[in-house]
Structure formats: C-alpha cells, structure tokens
Amino acid sequence: MNILNARLRGKTGLYRIELDGERIAAIVSQPTAIQPNDGSDLDANQNLVTAPFVEPHIHLDATLTAGEPAWNMSGTLFEGIERWAERKAVVTHEDTKVRARRTIDMLVDHGIQHVRTHVDVTDPSFAALKAMLEVREEARHLIDLQIVAFPQEGIESFKNGRALMTEAIAMGADVVGGIPHFENTRDQGVESVKFLMDLAERTGCLVDVHCDETDDPQSRFLEVLAEEARVREMGEKVTASHTVAMGSYDNAYCSKLFRLLKASKINFVSCPTESIHLQGRFDTYPKRRGVTRVAEIDRAGMNICFGQDSIVDPWYPLGNGNIVRILEAGLHICHMLGYEDLQRSLDLITDNSARTLHLGERYGLEVGRPANLVILSAPDDYEMVRSQGQVLTSIRSGKVLMQRTPARVERFGEVARG
Ligand code: 17E
Ligand code: FE2
C-alpha cells in the first residue's frame, strides 16, 4: 500500500509513503501532486501524515462511571477519590472490560494507537488489573497498551499497600505508579517514592507517578522523585504526571528545582483539561490555573506531553477520546498560542508522548519502523489545531484501522458583493 500526496511535519513538499506489510518501506519525495490509479493507494490530499497519536495518561478502569453511584459535587480531586472508592467496591471483571473496550474504541476513532493506562491496585481482589491484563492482549491489533500499577489510595497509607504494588508488578503490570501527595504524612510520601523506585529498579519496569496533584505549594515530592531518578540514572524511564503544585511554587524554588529536573532527565505529563477542572477549587479570587509549568518545562529542553486522564469518570464528566481537543485546550491554558508553539504543537501529542512511553524504534514515521500512521485533515500543526482538525485515516501494521468521512456542509447563501 502507498500513501500519496502526503505532507510531513518539518518538511516542505509532497511525499509518497510506501508500506510493505507491517513496515514502512520507503518515503519518497514527489515533485508534484499525483492522481492515485492503483485502488489500494490512499490519497492524503496534501494533508499531514504523522505517526499515530499517543495517549500517555488515562484511567481506563474508571472511565464511563461518572455518577455511579453519586456525582462528584465539589469538583475536587479528593471527592473524586471518595466517589471512585464507592464505585470500586462493585467493580467486576466484565464491567471493567466492557468500559475499557468502549473507551479504547473512542481512542482508536481519534487516531490513538499507543496508550498508557493507570489501573487502581489498592483493591485486594485485583479485579480491574486482571481485566486490564486481558484487555492489553485482546486489543493488541488496535493499540499498544501499557499498564501502570497505580495505588490510588496510597502505598504507605493503605493496608498492605506495598504488597499490593509488588504483586501487581509480578502479575504483569508494565509501569510502577505512586501518589505521594495523597499519603497521610510527608514522610510517608517520601518513603512511598523510595519504595516504588526500588521496585522499578529491581524489576526493570518504567515509572509513572501521580506527583503533587494539588495546589498545595508545600507538596514537594517531585524533587524526591527526580533525585531518586538522577542517582539511579533511571530518568528516561521515569515520568512525573500532573505536578500541578509547580503552578503554585514560587519562582525562587522553581529555579533551583529546574536544575535538578534537568539533571534527572525525567519526563512530564500534563492533563490540562483535567487540572483546570479539578484544581483551583480552594481559591476564590484570584483563582489559580492549577496546571504545571508546561511552557517553561518545554523551554528548558525537558520532555513534556499532554494526556486526557479521564473520560466520564468521578473526576471529570466530559471527554470523547479526542486528544486534539486536549491539545487545543492545553495550549490556551498554558499560554502557548505563540506562533512557534503552534508550529510544532503536535509534538505534545506525538513525539514527546512516545518518548515518555519509552517507545523507541517502535514509533515514528521512518523507514524500517512499524507501518503505523495517521492521515490528518490539515496540512500542518497550526492548521490542525486552528481548524479543530480530525484524523481521517488510521493505519496500523499496514492495514486501515479507521476511516472517517468528515461532515459535509451545504451553504445556501453568501454575503452580497458590494
Ligand atoms: N486519580 C487521581 O489521583 N487523579 C486523577 N486525576 C484521576 C484519578 C483521574
Ligand atoms: Fe491520572
């Protein structure tokens, strides 16, 4: 199969992309636009073709449960955790699989082929984890799924928390999680980070910690995570998710912190729609945005990407799988609508996220890599965001996985020529 008349990010002109089975066989410059004549060829119509979108942070075990049994009325993270604990008590294997499958379909519909999901393992029955381990296999033709063993109710503060984490990794979770800002004391938060880094180092797993997801400027577990990563030289395998307290740190502390963050080489995930909704809840006015310093992290040369976090769950009532919506909102929220940011905005949902997930050569529009790609409805990053563009075709392992026909508009009038 060939894809004709493709634009590529960061390049001028048009290209033909040749797929040979499950690999990208060639990427060849085209002097002019050409008409496809082979029925198996796809016409990109001079729009952008990129590697698939990535969802680096979602909770597939909790999706589609908002309002069950009760709605989060305060809009806070902590009420979300309470409401989820009620729902978690009645979670079953089949219920988890049905909701995860429906959510994966939404992600696939928006061109996502790589997903990192957190799964709550503060549940001695491991009902959700067992279900998700099966979903990881059953969805392999649609997405690559990484599972984070996520201790929603704490490692140190939850009964047998350490044993549950160890067991979850032994059962086959890919990534070690954490939630130090939720632990009962500061000391427990620090101990939880040391414990989870030991577990990851011992097992060779990646790390992704919900870190400082609070407007409390005293929540400073990011420095602990970064220092543990730096000393162990594990930074490229470690991710700090949320880090919204950084939006409340003063600049003097942040300037010292950034030195450590850079040295540690860790990755960052921001979930801007989730955070703008959950944070700032204890403020009147002025009201904080409650989002991490996305532009500053990026400017400092560190790796940061955007995630959805939730789709219709106890923390966030909206969402539909469309990561471009998160990108657009995030660029607004983080003061990143400058020309240069818009020009390379898709980095935040493609290459940067792939680096966070440590995908290496399993990802990217390059000869020899897997024949996974998406055809977009716009010719460049800026226009994709501005037009609220869509993924028109998603190709995985050299086969069409999803094709979208955009809505057709008919207009019956125009402004008179004066
Ligand atoms: N759990 C948590 O601790 N934080 C979140 N943002 C979500 C679940 C969605
Ligand atoms: Fe999360």
Ligand nearest to the CA of 117: 2
CB of 57 closer than 6 angstroms to any ligand 1 atom: no
* Residue 13: CA count within 13 A, CB half-sphere: 8
Question: Which residues neighbour 154 within 8 Å (Cβ) at sequence distance 6 or greater?
Answer: 122, 161, 179, 182, 183, 184, 188, 192
Q: Whose CA is nearest to atom 4 of ligand 1?
A: 77
Comparing CA positions, the residue from 315, 335, 336, 323 lying closest to residue 382 is: 336
For residue 334, the SS3 value is coil
CB of 87 closer than 6 angstroms to any ligand 1 atom: no
- The token pair at 333 is 């929220």
Residue 299, number of CB atoms within 10 A of its CB: 10
Q: What is the CA(408)–ligand 2 centre distance, in A?
A: 36
Query: What is the arithmetic mean of pLDDT over 13-39?
Result: 95
- Say yes or no to pLDDT of 224 above 90: yes
What band does 37 get if pLDDT is binned at 50, 70 and 90? confident
Q: What is the CA(327)–ligand 2 centre distance, in A?
A: 17
Domains and CATH numbers, the chain: 2-51+365-403 (2.30.40.10), 53-362 (3.20.20.140)
For residue 266, the SS3 value is coil
Q: Whose CA is nearest to atom 3 of ligand 1?
A: 152
Per-residue model confidence (pLDDT) at position 81: 95
**pLDDT tens by residue, 369-396:** 999 999 999 999 999 999 999 999 999 9
Residue 267, number of CB atoms within 10 A of its CB: 28
CB of 292 closer than 6 angstroms to any ligand 1 atom: no
- Say yes or no to pLDDT of 148 above 90: yes
pTM for the whole thing? 0.98
Per-residue model confidence (pLDDT) at position 38: 80
Q: What is the CA(387)–ligand 1 centre distance, in A?
A: 30
Which atom belonging to ligand 1 lies closest to the Cα atom of 179?
Answer: 3
Query: What is the arithmetic mean of pLDDT over 301-308?
Result: 98
- Say yes or no to pLDDT of 40 above 90: no
CB of 213 closer than 6 angstroms to any ligand 1 atom: yes
- The token pair at 383 is 């226009």
Catalytic option among 153, 183, 213, 274? 213
* Mean pLDDT value across the chain: 98
**pLDDT tens by residue, 283-299:** 999 999 999 999 999 99
Q: What is the CA(67)–ligand 1 centre distance, in A?
A: 16
Query: Is 213 considered catalytic here?
Result: yes
Question: Which residues neighbour 3 within 8 Å (Cβ) at sequence distance 6 or greater?
Answer: 16, 17, 19, 41, 42, 43, 44, 49, 373, 375, 395
What band does 349 get if pLDDT is binned at 50, 70 and 90? very high
Q: What is the CA(250)–ligand 2 centre distance, in A?
A: 24
CB of 79 closer than 6 angstroms to any ligand 1 atom: no
Helices 127-138 and 93-109: angle between axes, nearest 10 degrees? 40
Angle, CA of 226, 241 and 313, to the nearest 5°: 160
CB of 77 closer than 6 angstroms to any ligand 1 atom: yes
CB of 315 closer than 6 angstroms to any ligand 1 atom: yes
